[in-house]
Chains A and B, each alone.
Chain A
Amino acid sequence: MSAAVHVAGVGLWAEGLPGFDALRARLAGAPAADTPGRPPAALLPPNERRRAPPQVLLAVEAAGQALAMSGLAPDAPACVFASAYGDQATTDYLCATLARAPRELSPTRFHQSVHNAAAGYWTIATGCRAPSSALCAGPESFGAGLLEAVLQVLADDRPVLLVACDTPGQGPLAEMTACHDAFACALLLAPRADGALARLSLHPHHGPCASLPWPEAFPADWLGGNPSAGALPLLVQLASGSGRCRLPAAPRLGLDIHVESPA
């Protein structure tokens, strides 16, 4: 099979890349942009923004950027949140507290520990009652999320917001995940071309697959360290308006992706 959708919005948050424009500038030779310590995540109500864990702030920031670029109503798109590790700071807190004094566990930190925490905060903040999903697929989490989001666009003929986000490991867990940098991105995928940035066609193929081509402007260890950064080859093609790249969606399932002008 092959599948085609349109990209109506892009969001991005990583060190030196606080948005899609920053990626375009960087590819044009500009130095790394200043990145505030905490993403603004302006769509969250102030009290939630204060309490939300890093994973939620990053995911909401990237999602909000993509939504704003698309011009869609906040509650319109269904959403798919992909993350290889979920909120590692919360997992570390949870396991450390359970080992020390399990009855002192914070109820708020517990409900923030679900893998769909970002999806929950996002749908509550935007009033979105459309389907929302949260998934993981190890190092292939971004590609697996992209495939799921594209299938939702085509199956239900509706816009779908894909958000991929991983945050640095903390405590003893950090050695196991080896994820050292934060990276979040979002794509607002739509069935039709109206005002879209690009047309995306996916061609799945069987066999092992690496994320190609890796943009030289960015540290190679982003790819090894943060599964969500596996999106970069695609983001770079989107920034340049057209091109091809290849991303893994499972250990032996690759996606050949063609980016074209929306036509």
Chain B
Amino acid sequence: MIAPLAVSACTATSTLGRGLAAQREALRAGRSGLRPNDFSNAPLACWIGRVEGVEDAPLPAALAGWDCRNNRLAWLGLRQDGFLERVGAARARYGSARVALLLGTSTASIGATEEGYRRLGADGRLPADLRRPAVHNPHSLGAFVAAALALDGPCLTISTACSSSAKAFAAAERMIRLGVADAAVVGGVDTLCDSVLFGFNALELVSPEPCRPFDRARRGISIGEAAGFALLERVDAAPRAPRLLGYGESSDAHHMSAPHPEGLGAALALRDALARAGLAPAQVDYVNLHGTASRKNDEVEAQLLARHFSAATRASSTKGYTGHTLGAAGILEAVFALQAIEHGFVPANLGGDEPDPACGPQFAWRGEERPVRVALSNSFGFGGNNACLAFARAEAA
């Protein structure tokens, strides 16, 4: 078991809107944010979870050298729910060198590199306005947010595909436990770009209709974009805040782009999270599933759920609302789990109109208003990279 940490602040911005209230309202109302793909010059016929207004939200002049869609969304996300101010208070309390920054992203600002290649000069070079090494770099996100938050302690960008920002919580817990930092900003940002739209399309994983997690006729994923952040501190600094109780990490050792058929790696991550949290499965009220709506993932994850939990544990995927936000999915869905705890609701598994027969009685096909004391969030990525996070209300910890 580990000592729990307080999640003393958090925020999320997705296609559902900017900030926590917008996420919560859409989740409670069962309202999807997916829309027909209008991203890029030659849009594929699919649906996406696009954040409104990223194009019209430039960075402040002092940060303009970092400009790209991913860093714009990061900046937009940081300014919701008073998060900047909360980080400022932590910086003042602990010192800028003692607040670690651990962010996850799958593709960082590769959209800027893609644009550069579309506008190459006659000399074969990137256009002058995009000759900015800082954005053609997978650490663009971590380095930009460090500059934006004026943090100068440990800083790294974790990039393990769709488990990236979930793993940031684990790295932060280790840093605080072992005394490298007193607090940590964790989170993740991924934005729509051609790499992921055409890449997942090449793998035949993109649905032509809005994604339908756990539906028997699901046809693949819808890709989304999101930014989310959380502030982790020792419990005595925020005794009433919800808590990070545990985390689990594992590898499938099976295939680069398909899950282990029996979910061995996913089960290891789940059991690791429960063990670190000191929880029995029966104590878990809600599981926010990875639930991408790919044929394989949902089949394996439904079986994993059925093997470990009774009907008293409620479960849903929220990808039907936001799309699969890839490297940001870990933080976005951790925030959803925290909202479920703080506001007492279980979001409906949107899109599962005809449930896959593999789905057990744990699935919340409709939204439920009920107390949630303990919630888990699953994140599984390419390369067979798995993470599971466990959160709880303060008094349950």
List residues 37-78 of chain B with CB under 8 A from any CB of chain A: 40, 42
With A111-B257, A120-B256 already in contact, the answer to whether A131 and B195 are too (CB < 8 A) is no
Neighbour of B253 across the interface among A95, A98, A127, A152, CB < 8 A: A127
Instruction: Determine if B110 and A116 form an interchain contact, defined as CB atoms under 8 angstroms apart.
Output: no
Encode A153-193 as 1/0 by CB contact (under 8 A) with B. 01100000000000000001101111000000000000000
Stretch in B10-18, B117-125, B184-192 touching the partner = B117-125
Nearest A residue to B101 via CB reads A250
Complexed CA–CA distance, A96 and B201 (Å):
17
Which residues of chain A are within 8 angstroms of B110 by Cβ–Cβ distance?
91, 94-95
* Any B CB within 8 A of the CB of A210: no
From the candidates A102, A115, A131, A144, name the one contacting B155 in the complex (CB within 8 A): A144
A131 with B251, Cβ < 8 A, contacts A98-B194, A206-B97 known? yes
Interface size class of A (residues with CB under 8 A): 35 or more
**Bitwise interface map of B from 164 to 204 toward A, beta carbon under 8 Å scored 1, else 0:** 00010011011101111000000000000011001111111
CA of A146 to CA of B202, assembled, Å: 36
Residue of B106, B124, B199, B252 near A105 (CB, 8 A) is B199
The answer to the question of A134 belonging to the interface, with a C-beta cut-off of 8 Å to chain B, is yes
Number of A-B residue pairs at CB separation under 8 A: 224
CB distance from A35 to the nearest CB of B (A): 27
Asked if A114 lies at the interface with its beta carbon under 8 angstroms from chain B, I say yes
Q: Mark A80-100, 1 if CB is under 8 A from B, else 0.
A: 000011100001001110110
A39 contacts B by Cβ under 8 Å: no
Q: Indicate whether B142 reaches chain A with its CB closer than 8 angstroms.
A: yes
A130, B139: Cα distance in complex, Å: 25
A68 contacts the other chain (CB 8 A):
no
* A148 interface hit (Cβ, 8 Å): yes
Known: A110-B202, A116-B382, A119-B160. A91 touches B113 (CB 8 A): yes
Chain B positions within 8 Å of A85 at CB level: 137-138
Binds B, one of A24-32, A135-143, A237-245: A135-143
Closest CB-CB distance, A157 to chain B, in whole Å? 12
Which residue on B lies nearest to A251, using beta carbons? Answer: B152
B196 to chain A, nearest CB (A): 9
Q: Which residue of chain A has the shortest Cβ distance to B140 in the bound complex? A: A138
* Bound CA–CA A2/B157 (angstroms): 23
* Distance A120 CA – B155 CA, assembled complex (angstroms): 23
**Distance of A253 from chain B, by nearest CB (Å):** 6
With a cutoff of 8 Å between Cβ atoms, the chain B residues found around residue A134 in the complex are: 158-160, 383
The reply on A70 being an interface residue by CB < 8 A is: no
Q: Is the CB of A124 within 8 A of B159?
A: no
Smallest CB separation, B207 vs chain A (Å) = 16
Q: Evaluate whether A131 and B138 lie within 8 angstroms (CB atoms) in the complex, with A124-B384, A175-B125, A252-B97 already known.
A: no
The complex places the Cα of A240 from the Cα of B252 at a distance, in Å, of 38
**What is the bound-complex CA distance between A95 and B113, given in angstroms?**
7
Q: Indicate if the CB atoms of B178 and A173 lie closer than 8 Å.
A: no
Residues in A neighbouring B382, C-beta threshold 8 A: 111, 114, 116, 120
Are the CB atoms of B383 and A120 closer together than 8 Å?
yes
A residues near B178, Cβ cutoff 8 Å: 1, 3, 151, 154-155
Chain B CB within 8 A of A211 CB = no
Asked if B126 and A129 make an inter-chain contact with CB atoms under 8 angstroms apart, the answer reads: no
B window 213-263: CB within 8 A of A: 249-257
B131–A124 CB distance below 8 A: no
For A172, give its contact among B117, B251, B257 (CB under 8 Å): B117
Query: With the chains together, A148 CA to B159 CA distance in Å?
Result: 14
Task: Choose among A96, A136, A249 the residue that contacts B154 (Cβ–Cβ < 8 A).
Answer: A249
- Measured CB to CB, the residues of B under 8 A from A are 40, 42, 97, 106, 110, 113-114, 116-118, 120, 124-126, 131-133, 136-139, 142-143, 146, 152-161, 167, 170-171, 173-175, 177-180, 194-195, 198-204, 249-257, 264-265, 268, 381-385
14 A-B interface contacts by CB (under 8 A): A94-B110, A102-B198, A106-B202, A107-B202, A110-B198, A114-B381, A129-B264, A131-B249, A133-B158, A134-B158, A138-B137, A147-B154, A154-B174, A206-B97
Q: Which 7 A-B pairs have the closest CB atoms?
A: A120-B383, A115-B159, A131-B249, A110-B199, A1-B179, A95-B117, A252-B152
